[in-house]
A and B are shown apart, each in its own frame.
Chain A
């Protein structure tokens, strides 16, 4: 079975550019989560969706960050404009039926902002 698929795996771009990260959750999963992982702050939940609707975006650091889920099989996390401090590994995860159920993680996107 296909797991959570993220693209790209690596992204290097210059400060000020727009960055779009993509995620395809596991088919049938109702919840989708976006996390950011850094050495300093660990694993942070940015936002999560239930049935394509954003439920909690309290972890989104600034207005420069936005996330969408236009359908059950696709989500994007966008940063515009990007800054060097946004450099991190971004993970997408999905889970069945409830927010407290086991989450299945993608392999992440390693983002470097120069």
Chain B
């Protein structure tokens, strides 16, 4: 069955430290993959997307993600975290022309 898994429910990092949020997918073909961010009281905002081509994709707010077919992963990274990055992050995927499946989310806390 198609699925998107975010293994980490909650992550805490210090401001200025690097960040990596994990996402694993289960799709037969090359999936369409997305990362969204949700700040408190707001809807989900698209950070970046991967459809095909270059496996390292750049997004907004200094985020990037790398598609690794061999590991079925699409991890989100940021070299230096800011306090304003504290939010919940959702990975989502679609196989072919199917609806998106969202992961359970990872809540990021940032220590000053």
Contacts and interface: CB of A to CB of B under 8 A. Distances in A.
B98 A102 contact: no
Interface in B61-112: 90, 94, 96-100, 102, 104-105
A100 B44 contact: no
Contacts, number: 48
Interface in A53-87: 56
A91 B43 contact: yes
B2 to A, nearest CB: 11
A26 to B, nearest CB: 12
Chain B contact patch, size range? 20 to 34
B43 A107 contact: yes
A47 to B, nearest CB: 10
A108 B46 contact: no
Nearest to B45: A105
A91 B49 CA distance: 20
Contact of B98 (A91, A99, A103): A99
A42 B98 contact: no
Contact of A42 (B42, B43, B96, B105): B105
Contacts of B25: none
Given A99-B97, A102-B34, 19 more contacts: A4-B43, A45-B100, A56-B99, A91-B44, A98-B97, A99-B99, A100-B94, A100-B96, A100-B97, A101-B32, A102-B49, A103-B44, A103-B46, A103-B100, A104-B46, A105-B44, A106-B43, A107-B42, A108-B42
22 contacts: A42-B105, A43-B102, A43-B105, A45-B99, A56-B99, A91-B43, A93-B43, A93-B44, A99-B94, A99-B97, A99-B99, A99-B100, A100-B32, A100-B96, A100-B97, A101-B32, A102-B49, A103-B44, A106-B43, A107-B41, A107-B42, A108-B42
The 5 closest A-B pairs by CB, nearest first: A105-B43, A100-B94, A105-B44, A43-B102, A107-B43
Interface of A: 4, 33, 42-43, 45, 48, 56, 91, 93, 98-108
